[in-house]
């Protein structure tokens, strides 16, 4: 599959088979996240792979009851060290969130390439996730995704036409 086909066919998966993800695939996917660019090349991220069913159920509650999270083989939680990113620059940047998002996008595309499903999760109570997984300050939870084999076909996701979202040399809408 070429790169543009990979992007075009990726879907948010909310229904998963019960079969486990092979460790080799999991490690390739995590390595793709590791290779993402980051501001000042800080690479200030950590990824927690949650396989324990009890922990997954707790995460569901902290993620506003999104039950499909617990159906996937695992949940991957992306954390970024806010202080490490801002070191020497003050807190004027949002780089920690951007860095984590880029790494998660690498991870999500790699998962699709491997035949696995994901779903970007941004709706959660960060303080609860940090407590469940013992994540210390100054780490921030940027995003999470379930990871597993999709169950059934995924619906096509409509997208706005390019001319509706692109302008050159200034705002045109």
Q: How far apart are CA 91 and CA 71, in angstroms?
A: 38
Closest CA to 94 of 106, 84, 85, 107: 85
Tell whether 2 is covered by a domain.
no
Closest CA to 144 of 127, 110, 121: 121
- Work out how many domains the chain is built from and give that number: 1
Residue, of 154 and 98, whose pLDDT is higher: 98
Q: Please determine, for residue 150, whether its predicted confidence score (pLDDT) is greater than 90.
A: yes
**CATH code of residue 66:** 3.40.109.10
- For the segment 114-137, the average pLDDT, to the nearest whole number, is 98
Q: How far apart are CA 168 and CA 5, in angstroms?
A: 26
Tell whether 159 is covered by a domain.
no
Which region, left, alpha or beta, applies to residue 133 given φ > 0 means left and ψ of -120 to 50 means alpha?
A: alpha
Domain range for 89 is: 13-151
Closest CA to 157 of 6, 4, 9: 9
pTM value is: 0.93
Instruction: Report which DSSP code applies to 72.
Output: S
- Contact between residue 30 and residue 49 where contact means Cβ atoms under 8 Å apart: yes
Tell whether 40 is covered by a domain.
yes
pLDDT, tens only, 59-100: 999 999 999 999 999 999 999 998 887 665 555 556 789 999
The H or E element spanning position 143 is: strand 139-148
Tell whether 169 is covered by a domain.
no
Q: Please determine, for residue 148, whether its predicted confidence score (pLDDT) is greater than 60.
A: yes
Tell whether 160 is covered by a domain.
no
Tell whether 168 is covered by a domain.
no
């Amino acid at each position: 599959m070429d790169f543009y086909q990979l992007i075009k066919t990726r879907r948010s998966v909310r229904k998963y088979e019960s079969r486990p993800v092979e460790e080799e695939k999991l490690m390739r996917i995590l390595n793709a996240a590791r290779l993402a660019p980051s501001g000042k090349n800080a690479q200030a991220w950590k990824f927690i792979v949650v396989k324990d069913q009890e922990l997954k159920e707790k995460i569901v509650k902290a993620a506003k009851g999104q039950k499909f999270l617990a159906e996937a083989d695992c949940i991957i939680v992306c954390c970024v060290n806010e202080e490490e990113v801002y070191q020497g620059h003050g807190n004027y940047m949002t780089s920690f969130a951007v860095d984590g998002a880029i790494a998660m996008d690498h991870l999500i595309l790699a998962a699709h390439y491997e035949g696995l499903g994901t779903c970007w999760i941004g709706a959660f109570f960060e303080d609860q996730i940090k407590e469940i997984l013992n994540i210390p300050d100054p780490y921030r939870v940027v995003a999470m995704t379930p990871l597993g084999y999709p169950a059934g076909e995924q619906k096509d996701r409509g997208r706005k036409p390019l001319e509706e979202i692109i302008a050159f040399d200034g705002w045109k809408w």
